[in-house]
Amino acid sequence: MAKIMLVDDDLDLAEAVAKVLGVDGHKVVAEESPGKALDAMRKDPPDLAILDVMFPENSSEGFTLAQTMHGDSALRGVPILMLTAINVKFPLGFSSSDIDDVWMPVTAFLEKPVDLDVLREKVSAILKKSAGQG
Amino acid sequence: MSSGETIGPAVYDVPLPKEERIIPRAPQDGRYAPLPNVLLAQNALWVCRLRWIAVGLLFGFGLFTFLDGLPDFLGVKSRAMWPFVTAAALVFGNILFLFYIRGLEALPARFDIYTNLWSQIIMDLVVLTVVVHFVGSMETHIAFVYLLHVVLACIFFIPRQSLIVVATSCLLFLGCILVEGLGFMGRGGIFVTTIRTGPSAPGQIMLNLFSLWAILLAVWYLTSHLSIMVRRRDMQLMETNIRLIEAQKERTRHMLHTTHELKSPFSAIHTNVQLLLKGYCGTLPKEALEVLTRISERCRSLTAQIQDMLQLANLRSEAQQMPQSARLDVAALLRDCLGQVEPAALQRGIVLESDLQPVETFFVEDHFKMVFLNLLSNAVNYSNEGGRVRIECRLATDGRPRVSVADEGIGIPPEKLPNIFNDYYRTEEAVRHNRSSTGLGLAIVKQVVQTHRLHMVVESTQGKGTRFTVELPPVNNGESLRLETTHG
**DSSP 8-state code for residue B482:** B
The answer, yes or no, to whether residue B256 has pLDDT greater than 80, is no
Per-residue confidence (pLDDT) for residue B484, from 0 to 100: 39
Question: How far, in Å, are A73, A127, A134 from residue A47 at the CA level?
Answer: 15, 7, 11
Confidence of residue B344 (pLDDT cuts 50, 70, 90): confident
For an interface test with B, give the residue of A12, A52, A63, A111 to mutate (most B CBs within 10 A): A12
What does the pLDDT average to over B393-397?
Answer: 90
With beta carbons under 8 A apart, name residues in chain B contacting A117: 278
d(CA B26, CA B33): 5
Task: Count CA atoms within 13 Å of residue A108 on its CB side.
Answer: 17
With beta carbons under 8 A apart, name residues in chain A contacting B259: 85-87, 90
Taking 50 as the pLDDT cut, the residues of chain A under it are: 89-92
Chain A contacts to B (CB-CB under 8 A)? 10, 12-13, 16-17, 19-20, 23, 54, 59, 84-87, 89-93, 112-117
d(CA B127, CA B49): 17
Burial status of residue A21 (CB atoms within 10 A of its CB: 0-12, 13-18, 19 or more):
buried
CB-based contact B137:B177 (threshold 8 Å): yes
d(CA B315, CA B258): 16
Per-residue confidence (pLDDT) for residue B392, from 0 to 100: 95
**DSSP 8-state code for residue A110:** E
Beta bridge partners of B220: none
d(CA B63, CA B76): 12
B463: contact with A, CB 8 A cutoff:
no
Nearest CA of chain A to the CA of B278: how many Å? 9
Q: Do B278 and A116 touch (CB under 8 A)?
A: yes
CB-based contact B417:B411 (threshold 8 Å): no
Per-residue confidence (pLDDT) for residue B485, from 0 to 100: 36
Task: Report, in angstroms and rounded to the nearest whole number, the Rg of chain A calculated over CA atoms.
Answer: 13
The answer, yes or no, to whether residue B99 has pLDDT greater than 80, is yes
The answer, yes or no, to whether residue B30 has pLDDT greater than 80, is no
Confidence of residue B477 (pLDDT cuts 50, 70, 90): very low
Per-residue confidence (pLDDT) for residue A112, from 0 to 100: 84
Of B105-109, B213-217, B291-295, the least confident? B105-109
**DSSP 8-state code for residue B400:** -
Per-residue confidence (pLDDT) for residue B91, from 0 to 100: 95
Nearest CA of chain B to the CA of A117: how many Å? 9
d(CA B135, CA B172): 15
CB-based contact A45:A78 (threshold 8 Å): yes
CB-based contact B330:B392 (threshold 8 Å): no
**For residue B56, what is the enclosing H or E element?**
helix B37-65
Task: Tell me the backbone φ, ψ of residue B388, rounded to 5 degrees.
Answer: -135, 135
Confidence of residue B106 (pLDDT cuts 50, 70, 90): low
For A107, the 3-state DSSP assignment is coil
Q: Do A116 and B274 touch (CB under 8 A)?
A: yes
Task: Report, in angstroms and rounded to the nearest whole number, the Rg of chain B calculated over CA atoms.
Answer: 38
Contacts of B485 (CB under 8 A, 6+ apart): B358
CB-based contact A96:B336 (threshold 8 Å): no
Contacts of B427 (CB under 8 A, 6+ apart): B412, B413, B416, B419, B420
Per-residue confidence (pLDDT) for residue B64, from 0 to 100: 92
CA angle B343-B348-B350, nearest 5°? 85
Q: Which residue of B256, B264, B318 is in closest CB contact with A112?
A: B264
Per-residue confidence (pLDDT) for residue B37, from 0 to 100: 74
B415-434 pLDDT, tens digit per residue, is 888 889 988 888 888 888 88
Of residues B436 and B240, more confidence is placed in B240
The answer, yes or no, to whether residue B479 has pLDDT greater than 50, is no
% residues pLDDT > 70 (chain B):
86
CB-based contact A118:A110 (threshold 8 Å): yes
Nearest CA of chain B to the CA of A97: how many Å? 13
Burial readout B429-466 (b: 16 or more C-beta within 10 A, e: otherwise): bbeebbeebbbbbbbbbbbbbebbebebebebeeeebb
Per-residue confidence (pLDDT) for residue B197, from 0 to 100: 54
B315-341 pLDDT, tens digit per residue, is 776 655 677 788 999 999 999 899 888
d(CA B442, CA B422): 8
**For residue B263, what is the enclosing H or E element?**
helix B202-277
Of residues A130 and B103, more confidence is placed in A130
The answer, yes or no, to whether residue B487 has pLDDT greater than 50, is no
